[in-house]
């Protein structure tokens, strides 16, 4: 087993007292090999903005290969990892999340999903041999993107949207502004002496994009907020994927789907390694409710492009309600 480095707690402010959570069995599970998952997918996006996918069709060797490359990367000495940082927003980062003062017990690598761009920007990784790593990223991202598009098409069918690629075409576009993230949450044994206190790995937030596909090793830590504001812990499952509705999908469905608030808390004993594909539209794409979903209702959002939303999101703090700035103020 590879043991990853353990940084010392130097920011007491990283420690928050999280309300107790329970491991939840309520999280919807969607089996993509079953005949007709559309209605259950729509219900999951309406009620939770979150679900687990099993029998997903992503080859296991792509997952294990990328996990082993990620562990190799995070096991490098800091000075090697820092050659690919600081994140702007792409690149290696440690504890500081985003440009606005958020911190978490996490180190990460943010990449684009563009093969050529990654090769140029990250060719210094692993000295002279970044190929294995970048190849593992490409194989994994292509397979996960295919699954994300399949899910988005089932959702469009479930919502009776035509054409059925109304959402998925944004991820398939050559200009799609999608990102890929590897997170490593080192264990923090000191937590055991801290009487039930939790250390924030990644603070609460919603993802700005259309859809996020998360996979982690078998270490717990991910929590989601239910619509009543209660937090529940998501039981880890290294063989499955977890899907988040992002802010942009909330807007495109005129609020029918809700982007899910989520966070990660640190485990006292085990490292957590997660890999997340954030499917986003091209920068110039107008993000607006689809006409068939506003019929007879008003659009809840002002018009904006993904470029405008992303720019505004990257000025915000993690926990902010980023969509608030783009909501129409209702007359009543």
Rg (CA), the chain: 19
Of positions 183, 209, 259, 316, contacts ligand AKG by CB under 6 A: 183
Cβ closest to ligand AKG, residue 216 vs residue 259: 216
Q: How far apart are CA 236 and CA 249, in angstroms?
A: 25
Is 272 an annotated catalytic residue? yes
Residue nearest to ligand L4NPZUNZ (CB): 98
Q: Which residues contact 29 (CB under 8 A, 6 or more apart)?
A: 51, 52, 53, 54
Nearest distance, CB of residue 206 and Fe ion, angstroms: 7
Q: Which stretch binds ligand AKG (CB under 6 A): 14-22, 27-35, 111-119, 214-222?
A: 214-222
Q: Which of 81, 145, 181, 261 binds ligand AKG (CB under 6 A)?
A: 181
Active-site residue identified among 215, 261, 263, 272 = 272
CA–CA dist 28, 260 (Å, integer): 13
The site partner of 98 among Fe ion, ligand AKG, ligand L4NPZUNZ, none (C-beta below 5 to 8 Å per kind) is: ligand L4NPZUNZ
Q: Is residue 276 near ligand AKG by the rule CB under 6 A?
A: yes
DSSP state string for 256-324:
SS-PPPEEEE--SS--EEEEEEEE--BTT-EE---HHHHTTS--SB--EEHHHHHHHHTTS-TTS-GGG
Give me the least distance between CB of 300 and ligand AKG, in Å please.
24
Answer yes or no whether residue 90 interacts with ligand AKG by CB under 6 A: no
Told to check if 202 binds ligand AKG by CB under 6 A, we report yes
Residues 153-212 that bind Fe ion (CB under 5 A): 207
**Per-residue buried b or exposed e for 78-114, using 16+ beta carbons within 10 Å of the residue's own CB:** eeebeebbebeebbbbbebbbeeebbbbbbbbbbbbb
Nearest-CB residue for ligand AKG = 274
Catalytically annotated residues: 272
């Amino acid at each position: 087993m590879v043991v990853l480095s353990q940084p010392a707690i130097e920011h007491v402010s990283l420690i928050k007292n999280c309300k107790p959570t329970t491991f939840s069995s309520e999280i919807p599970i969607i089996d993509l090999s079953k005949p007709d998952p559309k209605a259950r997918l729509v219900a999951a996006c309406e009620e939770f903005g979150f679900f687990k996918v099993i029998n997903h069709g992503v080859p296991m060797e792509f997952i294990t290969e990328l996990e082993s490359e990620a562990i190799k990367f995070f096991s490098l000495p800091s000075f090697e990892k820092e050659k690919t940082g600081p994140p702007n927003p792409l690149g290696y980062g440690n504890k500081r999340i985003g440009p606005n003062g958020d911190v978490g017990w996490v180190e990460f690598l943010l990449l684009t999903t563009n093969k050529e761009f990654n090769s140029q920007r990250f060719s210094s990784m692993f000295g002279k041999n970044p190929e294995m790593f970048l190849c593992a990223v490409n194989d994994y991202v292509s397979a996960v993107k295919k699954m994300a598009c399949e899910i988005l098409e089932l959702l469009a069918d479930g919502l009776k949207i035509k054409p059925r690629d109304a959402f998925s075409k944004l991820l398939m576009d050559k200009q799609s502004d999608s990102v890929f993230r590897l997170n490593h949450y080192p264990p923090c044994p000191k937590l055991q002496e801290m009487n039930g206190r939790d250390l924030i790995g990644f603070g609460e937030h919603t993802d700005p994009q259309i859809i996020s596909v998360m996979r982690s090793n078998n270490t717990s830590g991910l929590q989601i907020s239910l619509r009543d504001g209660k937090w529940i812990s998501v039981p880890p499952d290294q063989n499955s994927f977890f899907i988040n509705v992002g802010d942009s999908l909330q807007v495109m469905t005129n609020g029918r789907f809700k982007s899910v608030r989520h966070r990660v808390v640190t485990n006292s004993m085990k490292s957590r390694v997660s890999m997340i594909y954030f499917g986003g539209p091209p920068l110039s794409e107008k993000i607006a409710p689809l006409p068939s979903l506003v019929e007879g209702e008003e659009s809840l959002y002002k018009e904006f492009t993904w470029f405008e939303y992303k720019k505004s999101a990257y000025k915000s703090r993690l926990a902010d309600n980023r969509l608030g700035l783009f909501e129409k103020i209702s007359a009543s």
